[in-house]
Structure 1
Amino acid sequence: MTGKARRTAAAALALVAMAPMLSGCLEEPSAHEAVRDFLVGWQTGDYTAAAERTDGDEKVVRKALEDAKLQLDAASFRFNLTGIRGTGEQVEADFRAEVDLGENNPLWEYDGKLPLHLVDGSWKVRWSPGVLHPQLHEGQRFAVDVTPQERQPILDRKGEALQEEATLYVASVIPATLKNAEEVCERISKITGFPQDRLLSRIRSARPDIPVPLVTFGRIKFAQLGKQIEAIPGVTITPQQQSLNPDSPTQIVGSVTAVTPELVQQLGGPQRAGETVGRTGLQKVYQEHLTGSTETSVITVDLKTMAVTELKKWKPDRSTSPVHTTLDRTDQETADAALLGGGVPGMLVAVQASTGEVLAVASTKGKYDQEKDALAGRFPAGSAFSIMSVEGLIKAQMNPKQKLACPSERSVGGARFRQAGPPAGETPSLQANFATGCVTALASLARKIGSADLTTSAAQFGIGAPWTLPLKSFSGSINSKKPLTTDAATARAIAGQNVLVSPLSMALVAGAVASGTWRPPVLVTAPKTLDPSVKAAPSKEPDPIKIDEKTVETLRTFMRSGVVAGSARAAAAPGDPVHGITAVATRDRKPLAWFVGWQGDVAVAVLTASEDPTAGAAVAGRFFRGPHDKL
């Protein structure tokens, strides 16, 4: 049983139970029976019983009561008797009507009157259209005007829309011109799958003289079904331009579709043609903000002049609002081009170091998803975790100039490590090993730093922090399955083998070194609240974390040397000096190459599916050398 049917049944039971109460409220037994039978019959849909209690033609009254329900597309009527007065052969009863206009629509309440008089010794309701509503007259009918609000855009940080124009095709009818509305709806239903009863209800409750949209098609569906729909007499198809196609980053912005029969079942309620639904990305999680609610009016229409009288109007209870993001169109285009020019699959996330605002999210189409992988992916950090490791080592008073051998292989506590590329020809310093990402040298320091200190260092850079975004995201985790209780486990953590991170979380790590403070990410600046249907975020985001100044200065020196003399030289670019390091990792036995660094106030993390340890740095270099707007 549908929600609408349940409410109708419940309403019927409510008035049947109320009938004895009506009897007790009226002093004149014969008059009260007429009022009771008429209202109970109207409310329960027993229109014959109601018509018998009037002085009008039974067929006319029965049809008028039935039409009122259809014209209002009402789920139910409920009535409360509020008074009765009169003497002799003239009596008037006052009642309060509550009309449920269906799911997602308001409750219409109004006061009505039932004039009664004696006809051949029996009390009868004096019939006129005014019995249905005091402002309904002969030659008029009810109708419901529903006006959806225009879908609002998703905007970049400069207020420019991140969508392009798309053409929708709306199939409409003018009710007054249809010879057989039932047949039209049956044919549309067979072609499209939309429920026939809902299509017919739309026609019956609409103004008879204006186009009523019934079904909306996207380009592909219109190509498949358009000719069949156009062949139905009385149906007109009109193209409409709407900003629906997402610009880059398409998976972050999200896709939008016209309402389909499948969506009607998923979403519930009487979805209307012309409405659009966000299917993915920000379009989905901010659906209600972007579309708001409808404006609804109950009106009367004069069937000769088509003049309209408004009986009640409800303004939208939710206004629409655009979604303001921190995305930068120029940075996004530059990031897309940087990945495209590399020839290897990958991802790039750019953030503003001083704010944590996400500037760009790029990924190779078909290989990586911008939300599921770039924001929420769980990838081994590899030697990129050395940023956090060095922070802990500095606190442990280790000298950055200390010499550490960089062999091709090393065993620590039984765990074996292998250095990608040729080993260093001489014994380099900690700084040089950091700059070249020598995993065998870094892993050897497992006994220099305690597991608790390593975990604390990771937390200083937001690894595992409870930050949230409107979309799925992952802040990272360190050795989530087993504690770091052995040298082998600690060495694996230093080498990033048992540390999982996302490109977003590593971009924030780079931003923390660049600015001296770790900050949680920001993707949307307004609206401040998510849609009610979206799982609530924590009431408070984690506070920024200021990094020790000595640690920051050392890391900046290390990461600058990674570009000047280390394995990240491909990231060099004109302008502000580039800082960064490369790292290698393995996922599902497939090699990955990281770059983590920054230039100016823009911090990036690049992850590529490549055996070349410098592949990520090459992508970053193309990004830094490309066009950028001043922040």
Structure 2
Amino acid sequence: MRHVRRRTQRALASSLALVACGATLTACFEEPSPHEAVRGFLVGWQTGDYESAARRTDGDPAKVARAIEDVGVHLDAASFRFRIMGLRHTGGASEADFKAEVDLGENNPLWEYDGKLPLHLVDGHWKVRWSPSVLHPQLKEGQRLAVSPTTEGRKPINDRNERALQTDEVLHVATVTPSKLDDPAKLVQQLSEVTGFPQDRLLRQVLSSPPNDPVSLVTFGRGRYSQIESKLRALAPQGLRIERVTQPVAPASPVQIVGRVSAVTAETVQQLGGPQRAGDSVGQGGLQQYYQDMLTGSTGTRVITVDLKTNEQVAELHKAQGRVNSSVSTTLDTGVQAAADAAVSVGAQPAALVAVHAPTSEILAVGTKGMNQAKDALAGKFPAGTAFSMVAVDSLVKAGIDAKQKLPCPTERSVGGAQFQQVGAAGGAPTLQSNFANACVTALASLARRVDAKALSDSAAAFGIGATWQLPLKSFPGAMPKVNSDAAKAKVIAGQNVEVSPLSMALVAGAAASGTWKPPVLVTKPTAPPPGAAATPAPVPASEPIQLDAKSLETIKSFMRAGVTRGTAQAAEVQGGQRVHGIAAPALGTRGNNRTKFAWFIGWRGDLAVAVLLQGGEPGDAAAVAGRFFQNAKAPS
């Protein structure tokens, strides 16, 4: 029975690298006859024309052709490549030296070994004197080659305290022992029909493995296994075993940031190609996907000879370590994450909460309800609303506007033709600080004529709006349009033409708390993207830390304190404890195809800076989410 024949198309497209000392072999030597035999043998072997190679030997052509082909099957080799290194000729005998390069796949380096081809004259023709040692010097009669893969278990993604962000999950592994199979091809065919895995790929794993070693063919999660359990168990009489293994692959919170892990499926084998074997694990989304190669490493390989009678190993011919895998360390804090999850779980509105460590801009937690932690909390584009007035205050103070200035808060106001409407408390002539604390859009917008466009842009930049950074997951640093009119400036102050993400607003709060804006950090090890991974966004230098103006920062802090003591953000301090700073404000934007009301809270307590975004609800609701978070969260030391 023939198995998994290596066809010519799998050989290298380029011509055989039989290089010695010139463009042609005959140019290197005085007598061409033995050279043609050597060349014909190696060309046939390399290109998969095993019958042609066998005819260049003195052995039985059918048996020799099968033996040469079996070398490729037993090594599961992607290709062979040969070079003739020299030829010695004395009388009626010759011996050629050659170097073999074997591609064992699995991202392994090429296996190189030196071989010899003894030749003698048979009926006036040069023939390779056949024995198994022609294929490898240490291969003897009654032996075969085999490949024993070695793999390390998938490494974890850890939080800032090196605690794994995965929990144990039971997986089911379809396993065989090759020496106990009566008909490997039949079993593999049926397993392929049940699972969808490529039949030839499964068979190569069986035929290339040491006969007495268990071979893991397919790994299933609980859901997939329950669907086909009865069909798999029906294959037990043919030698298929199902083993239960426990692996730490179920993601802990934040699930969409960490990412899920699954067994390689029939679909992912086809999509990924390359070194993945049935039974490997693959990251799906989040950090697990981004750091896939680093977490899994690559399969190491041992090439051995096996005794055909005992099926036991005789000798080790080659050992490749494979790329070492390693864990990933993040800035996430399990305790802070638990507080974030609990805070957003209350209430009916979809919510996102991002918490950062103010002095370092390290991301501590990402909690969501009805929103995606990666696509919405990190990379979402939402209207900033009057929460952005915190940034605008920086330019207003620099323009000389007095925080105690009386400033009416009418229900409606027009600035440069742009219309603004205050929802909620309005009227009277409170101070700028009071209007800020209560998110009065009509009062704040009226100051547009008092500040120039460049000052607004500079303030936005100082708080990181539009900055560049490199995170392993897509994120949005915020964007502000070019401002060229009073109406546009008023909309900036009111946050109506400014887009931000919860992450970018958490960084704004962290900058106000610490006095310095810094780009965010999510992963501390490795310090650079893994090989082949594209940095997101584009691989451009990250923005440098920005020191905020001390005078305006003092005013901002007093305004933010007023927000929780007598403004719309009071719920944050009521539930979160003393010394909270924050602002709670409405925003209006589009979600999908619908005009949607949002509510923001941005603020801090100590070194914990947070942004909360609610879809629907009121500013006070967002402040309450922050309050619940502050109540249970503790900043890392």
What range is the shorter-chain TM-score in?
over 0.9
- Counterpart among 592, 601, 625 of residue 598 in structure 2: 592
Give percent identity, aligned residues only: 58
Distance 2:127 2:156 in 1: 58
Normalized against structure 1, the TM-score is what? 0.95
Q: Secondary structure of the equivalent of 1:311?
A: strand
Alignment partner of 1:251: what SS? Answer: helix
Displacement after TM superposition at 1:24 (Å): 3.5
Q: Match of 2:585, SS?
A: strand
What's the CA shift string for 1:521-558, capped at 9, x where partnerless? 11111101223332135353211111111111111111
What displacement does 1:18 show? 12
Deviations 1:580-624 (A, max 9, x none): 011100122211111110001000010112242211101001111
SS at match of 1:478: coil
| Bigger shift: residues 293-302 or 491-500 | 293-302
Determine if the alignment matches structure 1 residue 228 to structure 2 residue 231.
Answer: yes
Aligned counterpart, 1:293 = 298
Partner of 2:552: 551
| Cα distance change of structure 1 residues 143 and 417 upon mapping to structure 2, 3 Å threshold | same
| 2:502 counterpart residue number | 503
Distance 1:486 1:29, change over 3 A: closer
How far does residue 449 in structure 1 lie from its aligned partner after superposition?
A: 0.6
Give the structure 1 partner of residue 100 of structure 2: 97
Separation in 2, partners of 1:4, 1:360: 53
Q: 1:439-450 to 2 correspondence within 5 Å?
A: 439-450=441-452
CA contact (8 A) 1:377 1:502 kept: yes
Whether the 8 Å CA contact 1:259–1:276 is kept in 2: the answer is: yes
Aligned with 1:151 (options 147, 151, 154) = 154
**2:199 & 2:386 partners in 1: Cα distance?**
61
Asked if structure 2 preserves the Cα contact closer than 8 Å seen for 1:11 and 1:43, the reply is no
Choose the corresponding residue for 1:613, options 614, 619, 628: 619
Match of 2:163 in 1: 160
TM-score relative to the length of structure 2: 0.94
Once structures 1 and 2 are overlaid, which stretch shifts more, 373-382 or 28-37? 28-37
Question: Is it true that 1:261 corresponds to 2:262 in the alignment?
Answer: no
Q: Secondary structure at the match of 1:477?
A: coil
Shift of 1:16: 12
Distance (Å, rounded) in 2 between the aligned partners of 1:599 and 1:4:
68
Q: Gapped runs of 5+ residues in structure 2?
A: 1-5
CA distance in 2, matches of 1:87, 1:17: 20
CA distance in 1, matches of 2:69, 2:104: 15
- Which residue matches 1:564? 565
**Mapped partners of 1:616, 1:319: distance in 2:** 46
Specify the alignment match of 1:347 in structure 2. 352
- Aligned equivalent of 2:36: 33
Separation in structure 2 between the aligned mates of residue 34 and residue 291 of structure 1, nearest angstrom: 45
Residue in 1 that maps onto 2:286: 281
Structure 2 counterpart of 1:173? 176
The CA distance in 2 between the partners of 1:356 and 1:211, in whole Å, is 49
C-alpha separation in 2, matches of 1:613 and 1:560: 16
Query: Partner letter of residue 606 of structure 1?
Result: V
- For 1:66 and 1:577, how far apart are their aligned partners in 2? 77
Q: Which amino acid aligns with 1:612?
A: E
Alignment of 1:106-255 (within 5 A): 106-232=109-235, 233-255=238-260
Q: 4-13 or 621-630, which moves further after superposition?
A: 4-13
Distance verdict in 2 for CA 1:10–1:630, change over 3 Å:
closer
Question: In the alignment, what sits opposite 2:520?
Answer: 521
Contact 2:19-2:84 at 8 Å conserved across structures: no
**What amino acid sits opposite 1:75 in the alignment?**
A
Deviation at 1:89? Answer: 2.2
Give yes or no for contact 1:386–1:442 (8 Å, CA) kept in 2. yes
577 and 4 in structure 1: CA distance in 2 versus 1, 3 angstrom threshold: farther
**CA apart distance, 1:12:** 6.1
Contact 1:379–1:587 under 8 Å retained in 2 = yes
Moved more, 289-298 or 393-402: 289-298
After the TM superposition, which residues 383-398 of structure 1 pair with which residues of structure 2 at under 5 Å, given as runs? 383-398=386-401
- Which digits, 9 at most, give the CA deviation of each residue in 1:274-325, with x for residues without a partner? 2111110010111111111111122111223312411111112x32111111
- 1:16-61 deviations in Å (ceiling 9; x for gaps): 9999823333433433333232222222222222222222222321
Partner of 1:451: 453
Q: Name the SS of the counterpart of 1:10 in structure 2.
A: coil
Counterpart amino acid of residue 487 in structure 2? A
Distance 2:576 2:278 in 1: 53
Contact 2:468 2:540 in 1 (8 A): no
2:328 paired with 1:328 = no
Contact 2:21 2:28 in 1 (8 A): no
Cα distance in 2 for partners of 1:337, 1:354 equals 24
Partner residue of 2:630?
Answer: 624
1:437 maps to 439
Decide whether aligned partners of structure 1 residues 612 and 43 sit closer, same or farther in structure 2, where only a CA change above 3 A counts: closer
- Asked if the contact 2:106–2:299 (Cα under 8 Å) also holds between the matched residues in 1, the reply is no
Q: What displacement does 1:14 show?
A: 5.7
Is the contact made by 1:256 and 1:276 (CA closer than 8 Å) also made in structure 2? yes
Equivalent residue runs for 1:356-371 within 5 Å:
356-364=361-369, 367-371=370-374
1:292–1:319 CA contact under 8 A, matched in 2: yes
Aligned partner of 1:472 in structure 2 is 474
Does structure 1 retain, via aligned residues, the 8 Å contact 2:330–2:525? yes
**Alpha carbons of structure 1 residues 511 and 413: separation in structure 2 relative to 1, 3 Å:** same
For the 8 Å contact 2:262–2:282, the answer to whether it is kept is: yes
Unaligned runs of 5+ in 1: none
Q: State the one-letter code of the partner of 2:551.
A: K
How far 1:360 sits from its partner (Å)? 0.6
Comparing 19-28 with 368-377, greater Cα deviation is found at 19-28
Match of 2:3 in 1: none
Q: Name the CA distance, whole Å, in 1 between partners of 2:215 and 2:156.
A: 25
1:597 partner letter: G
Change in Cα spacing, 1:5 to 1:238, as seen in structure 2 (3 Å) is farther
Deviations for 1:314-368, whole angstroms, at most 9, x for unmatched residues? 112x32111111111111111111111233221111101111001110010xx21
